[in-house]
Amino acid sequence: MFEFVAIFNGVLIALMISFNGLLSQQIGNNESLIIIHLAGLIGTSIIFLISRNKIKSIKGIPKYLFLGGAIGIFNVTMNNVCFDKLGAALTISLGLMGQLIASMCIDHFGLLGVKKNKINIRKLTGIAIMSIGIIVMIVL
């Protein structure tokens, strides 16, 4: 079940990058960032109100955990810029390569408190196959 959810999430990411990139082409990168994140705030607020949850205290939460929001802004910015120059498929493929490399390092070294999951030959083979696919996409 979670595999299907992850695949569906990938579809949503491809759509999001395409919509965001097209919006950025129409009105500019900085302007699109404001609209994209404002739409996210409105959508999240509606979900929050419908679910009738109360806001939890953020006291005591390590400050570095808030970096996800800042990283999200850079992520959208870089996707918008790359979408215009590379297209959706290559932008997403190269982004996935970066995600795989970073997540393998996080897992291997147990960074950010996650359980260690060592790099093995299967993971390296997967990265190699993906790299070949990206090279083919760039060259052909």
- Tell me the per-residue pLDDT of 106-123, one tens digit each, with 9 for 90 and over: 999 999 899 999 999 999
Per-residue pLDDT at 120: 95
Model confidence band, residue 23 (pLDDT cutoffs 50, 70, 90): very high
pLDDT at position 13 over 90: yes
Cβ proximity of 119 and 108 under 8 Å: yes
Instruction: Give the domain range for residue 72.
Output: 1-86
How many Å apart are CA 80 and CA 83, to the nearest integer?
5
5 and 70 assigned to the same domain: yes
126 and 99 assigned to the same domain: yes
Closest of 114, 88, 86, 84 to residue 102, by C-alpha: 114
pLDDT in tens, 80-94: 999 999 999 999 999
pLDDT in tens, 43-71: 999 999 999 888 888 888 988 888 998 99
**Number of domains, the chain:** 2
79 and 133 assigned to the same domain: no
Cβ proximity of 114 and 107 under 8 Å: yes
